[in-house]
Amino acid sequence: MQNQSRAFETSEIASWFGPYNVQVHDNPYPFYDYLLEQEPVRYLEWHNMWVVSRFEDVNRVLKDPLFVRENRNAMPQHEREEQPPQSQNTPWEPVNNLLDNWMLLRDAPTHTRLRGLVSHSFTPRSMERLKQNIRSIAEHLAEQMAEEDQPDLIQSFAFPLPVIVIAEMLGVPPEDREMFKEWSHIFARILEGGGDQTPDFAEQAERAAVEITAYFRSLIAERKVSPREDMISDLLAAKEQADALTEQELIATCVLLLVAGHETTVNLIGNTMLALLNHPDQFARLLDNPGLIPSAVEEGLRYESPVQMTSRLASVDYELGGQTIRQGQVVQVMLGAANRDPAQFTNPNQFDIGRAPNRHLAFASGAHFCLGAPLARLEGEIALTALLKHFPQMRFSDAAPNWRHNVLFRGMGTMHVR
């Protein structure tokens, strides 16, 4: 490490994963430095989980099929057979009906089938078809933003761009897109979990799940009668296949694409622009050499990873970093820490838009490597191109930018510029 990291008490480490810990939202990197240097595989008794931070270990967990996503696949066989059915008629039932069908949270063979049916929408050829439309959207948003005195880059540009793109891919009418904002934020909080699951929030989550399920069920019904050139129509056209999506799987997949395709890209754009504004030399370098924009996007993904962590369950007793992870225990892999590991990256805490190689884990790895990575990269590159064109003198306004309070997704709440 460049500097000796300070020690963290057990209570500090445990509280670091709480939803109300402002310290972690503003600057998690002192904590990451400590983990990387002192406790790369650390057990947290308070949360009954392991925290894994080094790049090599994180990559190993993500790629090893002995680490799974589904609780039942981490249980001994006799416990699987004795497992009681999931409780019904609870506030979380509508939410669970969606999450249970998210490929993100499933293992093979279900994950393989769901991913295979959706993956054709994210091929290089599909991205090429989207490119001109995304450019037009970005140009329009940047032009509107330029008319404001001190625009909020997040609300005026970074947020609407991916929402419009994913909505158009799904075939959502423009007048309905505003509803996505609240739904997406609620599901982001659901994924974060932890102490945020209060009775009040359970009611919000239930309402959002019921509303978004009804919305997509209605949209799917329309597409069955009148197909269009959108992803929902494409997936419905494959209904004759033996492995076709059920209606509930299709609804859940639409919700997943909304949340994953929106939350992460908003953060990618906002975080990368924040890093550029905090490093004027790199901003000037990019203006002088726009050919570095793809590399700048990759460095933004590494330096301020939009998704900071993901979890797995050990399906067997497993040795990692000199520790024994027991079957069934949760393993939290810290993508944000792995992307600052000095064993993997030279000067990891330095923002360098020309960094090469830059083999980061912002999109994870293994079977669950982010399906939407090509789209996120494309949106990021087009966004930076438009913003640099319209705002070559961009700087922060008098209002300081602030981070959103979510330990899983790292992104800005507001970022006013001029």
In this predicted model, what pLDDT tens digit does every residue of 398-418 receive, in sequence order?
Answer: 888 999 888 889 999 999 999
Residue 262 has pLDDT above 90, yes or no: no
The label of the residue with tokens 């934020």 reads 185
Average pLDDT estimate for 30-35: 92
Percent of the chain with pLDDT over 90: 72
Q: Is the separation of the CB atoms in 34 and 334 below 8 Å?
A: no
Is the confidence at residue 87, as pLDDT, over 70?
Answer: no
Looking at residue 287, its pLDDT comes to 98
Task: Return d(Cα 105, Cα 228) in angstroms, integer.
Answer: 29
Question: For residues 279 and 9, which has the higher predicted lDDT (pLDDT)?
Answer: 279
Q: What is the pLDDT of residue 13?
A: 63
What is the average per-residue pLDDT within 336-342? 98
Instruction: Report the Cα–Cα distance between both ends of the chain, in Å, rounded.
Output: 36
Give Cβ neighbours of residue 301 (< 8 Å, ≥ 6 apart).
268, 272, 339, 360, 362, 363, 380
Specify the pLDDT at position 85: 58
Report DSSP letters for 227-295, one per residue: --SSHHHHHHHTTTSTTPPPHHHHHHHHHHHHHHHHHHHHHHHHHHHHHHHH-HHHHHHHHH-GGGHHH
| Residues 155 and 414: beta-carbon distance below 8 Å | yes
Spatial separation of the C-alpha atoms in residues 27 and 408, rounded to whole Å: 13
So what's the pLDDT on residue 288? Answer: 98
Give 259 or 369, the one with higher predicted confidence: 369
Q: Which domains does the chain have, with CATH numbers?
A: 48-414 (1.10.630.10)
Residue 1: its pLDDT value, please?
45
Nearest to 311 by CA among 15, 61, 120, 134: 61
What the block records as the tokens of 281 is 């030399």
CB 295 within 8 A of CB 356: yes
Q: In this model, does residue 84 exceed pLDDT 70? A: no
User: What's the CA angle centered on 234, arms 246 and 268, to 5 degrees?
Assistant: 95
| pLDDT tens for each residue of 166-192 | 999 999 988 888 888 889 888 888 887
Across the range 243-256, mean pLDDT stands at 92
**Residue 88, phi then psi, degrees to nearest 5:** -110, 170
Distance CA 308, CA 406 (A): 10
Q: Is the pLDDT of residue 256 over 60?
A: yes
Return d(Cα 316, Cα 415) in angstroms, integer.
Answer: 45
414 has which bridge partners? Answer: 402
Beta strands at 412-414 and 402-403: parallel, antiparallel or unpaired: antiparallel
- Report the DSSP pairing between strands 402-403 and 67-68: unpaired
DSSP string, 127-187: HHHHHHHHHHHHHHHHHHHHTSSS-BHIIIIITHHHHHHHHHHHT--GGGTHHHHHHHHHH
Supply the pLDDT for residue 75.
92
pLDDT (0 to 100) of residue 9: 62
What's the pLDDT at 337?
98
Amino acid in position 22: V
pLDDT of 200: 85
* Segment 299-330, tens digit of pLDDT: 999 999 999 999 999 999 999 999 999 999 99
d(CA 262, CA 312) in angstroms, rounded, equals 23
Q: What percentage of the chain exceeds 70 in pLDDT?
A: 90
Q: What is the pLDDT of residue 57?
A: 99
Cis peptide before 357 (omega within 30 of 0): yes
Average pLDDT over residues 34-63: 95
pLDDT at 380 over 90: yes
Predicted local distance difference test score (pLDDT) of residue 20: 52
Which residues have a Cβ under 8 Å from the Cβ of 51 and sit 6 or more positions away? 13, 35, 39, 41, 42, 43, 44, 332, 334
What pLDDT is stored for residue 89 in this prediction? 59
Integer Cα distance of 361 and 55 in angstroms: 8
Beta strand 49-52 with 67-68 is: unpaired
Q: Is the predicted pLDDT of residue 90 greater than 80, yes or no?
A: no
**Closest-CA residue to 406 (of 144, 21, 7):** 21
**CB 97: neighbour CB atoms within 10 A?**
16
- pLDDT at residue 14, rounded to an integer: 59
Return the higher-pLDDT residue of 1 and 137.
137
Exposure string over 345-364, b if 16+ CB within 10 A, otherwise e:
beebeebbbebeebebbbbb
What pLDDT is stored for residue 260 in this prediction? 85
